[in-house]
Chains A and B, each alone.
Chain A
Amino acid sequence: MIRRIISQSLLRRRERKLLSLMAVTLGIAVATAVATIAIDVGDKVNHELRSVGANIIVTPAADGFPISIGGVDFRPAGAGAYLEESSLPAMKRIFWRNSIVAFAPFVYLPVQAQNRHFVLIGTWFEKTLSISPTESFRTGIRQLHPTWKVEGNWPAADDADGCVVGSQLAQALGLKIGQKLPIQTKTGFREFKIRGILESGGIEDQEALAPLESVQEMAGLRGKVRRVEVSAVTKPEDALARIPPARMTPDQFERWSCSNYASTVAYQIQQAIPGSSARPVYRVSETEGKILNRVGLLISLLAAAALITAALAVSSMMLANVLERRSEIGLFRALGAADARVATIFLTEASLVGLAGGALGYLLGSMLAEKLARAIFGSPIGIHWVLLPAALALALAVTLIGSALPLRRGFKMSTAMALRGE
């Protein structure tokens, strides 16, 4: 009998049911969309923050007295220690290799042109490294410093004579794009072609950049690099990360190694590249940690607001439903049905609407999240299947509780009043 009543009641008042389904779907969709974005927002903002530049610097451990300002080393070639360029791909084989977004090696050579002294910086503009037979990694200055402005072009990967001149140096020497730039070193001279003019706001604007191999050749430093700047996606520092690794217990060390703190990634890089010393750049890593924490907090707040709102929307719809059908409840009770039976009928309907709405809402919400992520971050967001049971559970809980409470009130009313429609 109950089954007939329920199936009949489901078929009737279709408009009302559709409305309820829509309300549940929309509420759950918004909650799912916000939750999906909240899960990935930290990672996305972290990637965007990487355009601030390197947060880990790798230098030769044996290098005692660098003479550097803003990263540019003013020593003559041959002074101090170097790292092996061939050991660099090892960086993309560490445990946290996927955190490393970009890196670039540097050599510095003091040179002269038109009687003015400056430093020629050798680096990768955009190089495709082969990490393994199946995997390659594109990295270089262009990936490391996407905010640097170049008027003209960066030299192509095979352009051994192309160079980029800093804007202040170009102005002082009256250099234009396309001009030839003869550069003199202590041992010889080489002619470069100016492909672009760099504006960065840093000390590089007073120097010039050229391909790594070319500068290594000029300096007689084949296969050697002075310094590597690394840009890695890292987790904000907390109490665990501040303990010096040497003083950690094995358990702490395990947890620390399995988290991508800046200090962890630096430590792993140092282990991977022989003779190196890798350190986080505090100015960058600590600041972005604070920014990421704030963003995470903000989005969690919005997620909480979204959940509460969704719950409210669904329960108000359930309330309206039950209120509308007071006379029906009265009729059932007048006919002798026990309160529990009546409750079963209504709650079953509510749970069916809840489940259907929850599933639809999850799908709609995931699609919404995907569209939003593409529009805001420019990159896709994965489907988080873990949210499906959560969405269904939330929908079920809210529809049931949202119906149960007004039902209880309804049962307290006298049947006669209910039938009369008061």
Chain B
Amino acid sequence: MPISNLKPRNPRSIFWRLCLRSLQVKRPQAALGIGSLMVGAAVCSLLLNLYGGVQRKMTESFSAFGANIILTSREVAAHSSDLPTVMPEPSPQRLEALRREHPSILTVPVLYVIMRLNSPAADSRLPEGKEVVAVGTTLEGISAMNPNWHFQTLNQRPEPRDCAVGIHLAEAMQFHPGDSLQLQMLETGSGHDQSAQETFRIATIVSTGASEDDQVFVPLAALQQMAGLQGKVSAMELRVPGDVKAIESAVRQLAKLFPEMDARPVRQIVYSEAKVLGTVSRLMLALTILILTIIALCVASTMTAIVLERRKDIAVMKALGASNRAVMELFVSEGVALGLIGGLAGFFLGALFAREIALRLFDVALAPSWWVFPVVCLSTIILAVVATLFPVRVVRRIQPAVVLKGA
């Protein structure tokens, strides 16, 4: 056959044929290459997918500390009581506007009034007419705001005159759920009907470990009525979900929405959250980088070994007249192919694991983070290519005659 017939009609076709053949023929090596790339991509995908979901969950955990923003009156009025100054309750329209900005904000109004506590049972053993702090609020509100408070609730239909009593107070007065108590205004001489008492049914005993254990919680409207403070509250407790930035921006918005009030973050919750979450993120990042470094090294060494294995192939190609560049092109495109396959498979495997772990261990339904996909695939391809390019020295140095002889 004349030598001229050996010239291929389309030089590119040899390129692709060689590329595909190498993947078909050297299947164990290709499998090893894809395998190590896949594991690398899977671990990368797992850690990155998990990162976002766990961050959110950790931020959520801090919401159990209670209110993180307090709205109080800007004025500190001069009056004989040293309790927090009362202010007009924010109108429903303004609260709506607030909720439109922050859909998952929780707002609870509170009103503090010192009242006299009586037990209608008139048991002579029990102390009569003690002063207590009565808190006007909604019980659903404070139990939503403080999920870690312990509530012991009466197992009956709720009534409009239900109240809650702190456990310490309940023990001192020997109250049990179902008992009644009476609250009476203090003698302030400001013209209130001092004999007016309101009776409430104790539906819940609250146990918190703090001041609430000595307080009585009654419906806000009832307390406002008794104290002659209709439409007034001492403070609005708010809980804004999210990290420090979200909370600080909420504080600024509140200052604009409610200019006559003082909006302050509860520093010990908000700034501790910032500190702890910051630390945990940095730690996760550092450890992830360490792990990914080792993976990169592992993949690189595997790919390098694969290339080194194929010295004979390279020698043959060079003997047939391929330039160094052509050989490298071939290897790089093989690297890209391996990287692509490994990256895709690894991404989905890692994402699957991440979802399972997030569900079982962290109770989070992870939505796939689509930004992870291009990151993982691209890094895998780049890693495969770089690892393939490493032994470029070796390729250059190969002398076909020497290698083919078997040395």
**Which single residue of chain B is at the shortest CB-CB distance from A19?**
B301
Smallest distance from the beta carbon of A68 to chain B beta carbons, Å? 4
Task: Please determine whether B267 and A201 come into contact, CB atoms closer than 8 angstroms.
Answer: yes
Task: Please determine whether B305 and A324 come into contact, CB atoms closer than 8 angstroms.
Answer: yes
Choice from A52, A56, A71 contacting B269 with Cβ under 8 Å: A52
Of A82-90, A151-159, A283-291, A344-352, the one with at least 4 CB within 8 A of chain B: A283-291
**Which single residue of chain A is at the shortest CB-CB distance from B80?**
A117
User: Is B72 among interface residues, defined by CB-CB distance under 8 A?
Assistant: yes
User: A65-B130, A323-B305 known; A377 and B279 CB under 8 Å?
Assistant: yes
User: A147-B272, A200-B268, A324-B305 known; A64 and B127 CB under 8 Å?
Assistant: yes
Task: Please determine whether A283 and B210 come into contact, CB atoms closer than 8 angstroms.
Answer: yes
B270: which A residues are within 8 A, CB to CB?
Answer: 147, 201
User: Is B172 among interface residues, defined by CB-CB distance under 8 A?
Assistant: yes
Interface centre among B36, B150, B208, B293 (most CB of A within 10 A): B208
User: Is B84 among interface residues, defined by CB-CB distance under 8 A?
Assistant: yes
User: Is B155 among interface residues, defined by CB-CB distance under 8 A?
Assistant: no
User: A45-B279, A68-B214, A282-B148 known; A201 and B209 CB under 8 Å?
Assistant: no
**Which single residue of chain B is at the shortest CB-CB distance from A41?**
B283
Smallest distance from the beta carbon of B4 to chain A beta carbons, Å? 34
Smallest distance from the beta carbon of A159 to chain B beta carbons, Å? 24
User: Is A171 among interface residues, defined by CB-CB distance under 8 A?
Assistant: yes
User: A23-B297, A65-B132, A281-B210 known; A34 and B287 CB under 8 Å?
Assistant: yes
Task: Please determine whether A172 and B75 come into contact, CB atoms closer than 8 angstroms.
Answer: yes
Task: Please determine whether B265 and A201 come into contact, CB atoms closer than 8 angstroms.
Answer: yes
Task: Please determine whether B39 and A53 come into contact, CB atoms closer than 8 angstroms.
Answer: no
A368 to B215, CA, bound (A): 52
Smallest distance from the beta carbon of B297 to chain A beta carbons, Å? 6
B-side interface mostly: helix
**Which single residue of chain B is at the shortest CB-CB distance from A54?**
B210
User: Is B332 among interface residues, defined by CB-CB distance under 8 A?
Assistant: no
Task: Please determine whether A287 and B64 come into contact, CB atoms closer than 8 angstroms.
Answer: yes
- B residues 337-369 in Cβ contact with A at 8 Å: 357, 361-362
A145 to B269, CA, bound (A): 10
User: Is A376 among interface residues, defined by CB-CB distance under 8 A?
Assistant: yes
User: Is A335 among interface residues, defined by CB-CB distance under 8 A?
Assistant: no
B78: which A residues are within 8 A, CB to CB?
Answer: 115-116
Task: Please determine whether A67 and B298 come into contact, CB atoms closer than 8 angstroms.
Answer: no
User: Is B31 among interface residues, defined by CB-CB distance under 8 A?
Assistant: no
A283 to B75, CA, bound (A): 30
Task: Please determine whether A117 and B81 come into contact, CB atoms closer than 8 angstroms.
Answer: yes
A128: which B residues are within 8 A, CB to CB?
Answer: none
B329: which A residues are within 8 A, CB to CB?
Answer: none
Choice from B58, B81, B282, B291 contacting A309 with Cβ under 8 Å: B291
- A residues 48-69 in Cβ contact with B at 8 Å: 48-49, 51-53, 56-57, 64-69
Task: Please determine whether B280 and A298 come into contact, CB atoms closer than 8 angstroms.
Answer: yes
B210: which A residues are within 8 A, CB to CB?
Answer: 57, 71, 281, 283
User: Is A306 among interface residues, defined by CB-CB distance under 8 A?
Assistant: yes
User: A30-B294, A67-B131, A283-B65 known; A316 and B302 CB under 8 Å?
Assistant: yes
A41 to B286, CA, bound (A): 13
Task: Please determine whether B114 and A74 come into contact, CB atoms closer than 8 angstroms.
Answer: yes
Task: Please determine whether A23 and B301 come into contact, CB atoms closer than 8 angstroms.
Answer: yes
User: Is B54 among interface residues, defined by CB-CB distance under 8 A?
Assistant: yes
A43: which B residues are within 8 A, CB to CB?
Answer: none
User: Is A119 among interface residues, defined by CB-CB distance under 8 A?
Assistant: yes
Task: Please determine whether A67 and B61 come into contact, CB atoms closer than 8 angstroms.
Answer: no
Task: Please determine whether A313 and B298 come into contact, CB atoms closer than 8 angstroms.
Answer: yes
A313 to B298, CA, bound (A): 5
**Which single residue of chain B is at the shortest CB-CB distance from A173?**
B76
A51 to B75, CA, bound (A): 30
User: Is B401 among interface residues, defined by CB-CB distance under 8 A?
Assistant: no
A137: which B residues are within 8 A, CB to CB?
Answer: none
Smallest distance from the beta carbon of B394 to chain A beta carbons, Å? 13
User: Is B182 among interface residues, defined by CB-CB distance under 8 A?
Assistant: no
A376: which B residues are within 8 A, CB to CB?
Answer: 279, 282-283, 286
1/0 per residue B75-115: CB within 8 Å of A?
A: 11011111110000000000000000000000000001010
User: A67-B131, A172-B76 known; A201 and B266 CB under 8 Å?
Assistant: yes
A368: which B residues are within 8 A, CB to CB?
Answer: 290
Interface centre among B80, B279, B288 (most CB of A within 10 A): B279
A282 to B297, CA, bound (A): 48
A58 to B131, CA, bound (A): 22
Task: Please determine whether B146 and A49 come into contact, CB atoms closer than 8 angstroms.
Answer: no
Contacts across chains A and B counted by CB atoms under 8 Å: 235
B69: which A residues are within 8 A, CB to CB?
Answer: 201
User: Is A205 among interface residues, defined by CB-CB distance under 8 A?
Assistant: yes
A421 to B127, CA, bound (A): 99
User: A69-B133, A306-B290 known; A168 and B298 CB under 8 Å?
Assistant: no
Task: Please determine whether B146 and A168 come into contact, CB atoms closer than 8 angstroms.
Answer: no
User: Is B211 among interface residues, defined by CB-CB distance under 8 A?
Assistant: yes
User: Is A389 among interface residues, defined by CB-CB distance under 8 A?
Assistant: no
A208 to B404, CA, bound (A): 90
User: Is A372 among interface residues, defined by CB-CB distance under 8 A?
Assistant: yes
Interface centre among B132, B208, B268 (most CB of A within 10 A): B268
Task: Please determine whether B290 and A290 come into contact, CB atoms closer than 8 angstroms.
Answer: no
User: Is A310 among interface residues, defined by CB-CB distance under 8 A?
Assistant: yes
- A residues 71-108 in Cβ contact with B at 8 Å: 71, 74
Smallest distance from the beta carbon of B63 to chain A beta carbons, Å? 9
Smallest distance from the beta carbon of A170 to chain B beta carbons, Å? 10
User: Is A202 among interface residues, defined by CB-CB distance under 8 A?
Assistant: yes
B268: which A residues are within 8 A, CB to CB?
Answer: 51-53, 145, 147-148, 200-202
User: Is B179 among interface residues, defined by CB-CB distance under 8 A?
Assistant: no
User: Is B309 among interface residues, defined by CB-CB distance under 8 A?
Assistant: yes
**Which single residue of chain A is at the shortest CB-CB distance from B273?**
A52
Q: Supply 20 A–B pairs (Cβ within 8 Å), ascending by A.
A: A41-B283, A49-B272, A57-B209, A65-B169, A74-B82, A117-B81, A206-B76, A285-B209, A286-B148, A290-B61, A295-B58, A297-B361, A306-B290, A309-B43, A309-B291, A316-B301, A316-B302, A320-B302, A323-B309, A376-B282
* Chain A residues near B (Cβ < 8 Å): 19, 23, 26-27, 30, 33-34, 37, 41, 44-45, 48-49, 51-53, 56-57, 64-71, 74, 110, 115-119, 145, 147-149, 168-169, 171-173, 199-203, 205-206, 279-287, 290-291, 294-295, 297-299, 301-302, 305-306, 308-310, 312-313, 316-317, 319-320, 323-324, 368, 372, 375-377, 420-421
**Interface pairs A-B: 10 shortest CB-CB:** A172-B76, A117-B82, A201-B266, A313-B298, A320-B305, A281-B209, A147-B271, A287-B64, A286-B148, A68-B211
User: 6 other contacts beyond A33-B290, A117-B80, A118-B82, with CB at 8 A cut-off?
Assistant: A69-B211, A74-B83, A117-B82, A147-B267, A283-B65, A284-B65
